[in-house]
Structure 1
Amino acid sequence: MEGRNITSGSRKVMVVAEPNRESAGALQYALSHAVVQHDELILLHIENPNSWISTFSTFLRRPSMSSTSSINNNNNASPLERSMEDVDFLEEMKIACKAAQPNIRVRVEKVIMEGKDKAAAILALTKVHAVDVLVIGQRRSFSTAILGHRRSGGSMRGRITTDTAEFLIEHSQCTCVGVQKKGQNAGYFLNTKTHRNFWLLA
């Protein structure tokens, strides 16, 4: 599968970090299959201050007994998935990375996006940081499962995460891997420009 070359020098692997299950699965894949020792792992989080998600995240920063009990009762989720519910999920992800791969460098990159397409911003940052492999969590929609992926250009403004991942796979100059985690130990569906719905065991 693309994205793993242990004979070359250290590489930069970027994971699009979001407080959701898809992002947790993408990070798990990156840690177990994409990075090797001495690589650099960049956790990229793009935040739109005008989006409802940002407003909701601000609300979540207020501690409550209900949110605490929800986390405590989520026994079926993996540590990475549970960390997505934490307030400082980026720091939790960084800690999880160092625990899983002590010999890699981990850096957090948080970018405020104002009026720009998310996909375009991610592509620009992969060039700025000379990224070798881009990993993004991908939600498998019903239409994608039945009809396959859509190849589409143009602006990504207002499109859903699935399309953002597909756009990055098609237009990224570096290797881009869309990851769909299938249960805790069930493996991954991977999508790249040259491999579609590639099944990889956990």
Structure 2
Amino acid sequence: MGDGTAPARKVMVVADPTRESAAALQYALSHAVLEHDTLILLHVENPNSWRNTFSFLRRPLPAATSPYAGTSSATDGGGGVDFLEAMRHACESAHPKQRVHVERVPMDGKDKGAAILHHSKAHAVDILVIGQRRSLSNAILGQRRSGSFRGLETAEYLIENSKCTCVAVQKKGQNAGYLLNTKTQRNFWLLA
């Protein structure tokens, strides 16, 4: 670009109704996305997941914080605001000029990591951001076991196999910052 600004990028955030996904979006909005970038919220739907049967995982936002309060969508079981709409609203509040696309995709017989990888390639994504949950067994035993990807969580699978920059994000407390993992940096602390 001739005006000295960086070229627009595509940033994809894996969106789920979890704390880890909310932390990934918060990190992306505050540290990864620039005003002229395109932000893609990707949710991979698993029709066989036990979570799909419970509507309490999709919490409505208070009326003061959301223009969607009091409405319901076909995807939230009539219980309030869909989590993807709430995430889109958070993006629009943080960056009003930001281009935000929301995409729901089925797993199509693949595992979640393969479905995310496929869509990140199809969209030619520059940065992929995913929330990461650390279990005690992973912390003690280490992430890689016998050189195989079997048993690895989705975030680790994406870090190892993504052609673009993939950042796995863990929020550490309200004001403590983020613990980031990429292919080249492990357990990198970024203060809030």
- Higher percent of residues as helix: 1
Q: Percent identity?
A: 68
Identify the residue that residue 133 of structure 2 maps to in structure 1. 139
Identify the residue that residue 148 of structure 1 maps to in structure 2. 142
1:97 to 2:97 alignment: no
Identify the residue that residue 154 of structure 2 maps to in structure 1. 164
Q: With structure 2 as the length reference, what TM-score do the two structures score?
A: 0.81
Q: With structure 1 as the length reference, what TM-score do the two structures score?
A: 0.77
Q: For residues 66-97 of structure 1, give each alpha carbon's deviation from its aligned partner in whole angstroms, at most 9, with x where no partner exists.
A: x78xx87xxxxxx8xxx9x9641100110100
2:39·2:101 contact (CA, 8 Å) conserved in 1? Answer: yes
Identify the residue that residue 114 of structure 2 maps to in structure 1. 120
Q: Give the deviation of 1:153 after TM superposition.
A: 4.3
Identify the residue that residue 76 of structure 2 maps to in structure 1. none
Structure 1: unaligned runs, 5 residues or longer: 1-5, 62-66, 73-78
Q: Give the deviation of 1:140 after TM superposition.
A: 1.3
Q: Give the deviation of 1:143 after TM superposition.
A: 2.4
Aligned residues: 174
1:60·1:87 contact (CA, 8 Å) conserved in 2? Answer: no
Within-5 A mapping of 1:10-159: 10-57=8-55, 87-150=81-144, 152-153=147-148
Q: 2: CA distance between counterparts of 1:86 and 1:97?
A: 19
The counterpart of 2:191, out of the listed 192, 195, 201, is 201
Identify the residue that residue 64 of structure 1 maps to in structure 2. none
Identify the residue that residue 184 of structure 1 maps to in structure 2. 174
Deviation above 3 Å: which 4+ runs of structure 1?
151-155
Q: For residues 32-68 of structure 1, give each alpha carbon's deviation from its aligned partner in whole angstroms, at most 9, with x where no partner exists.
A: 00001110000000111122111224x767xxxxx78
Q: For residues 155-188 of structure 1, give each alpha carbon's deviation from its aligned partner in whole angstroms, at most 9, with x where no partner exists.
A: 6xxx5xx711001001000000000001111100
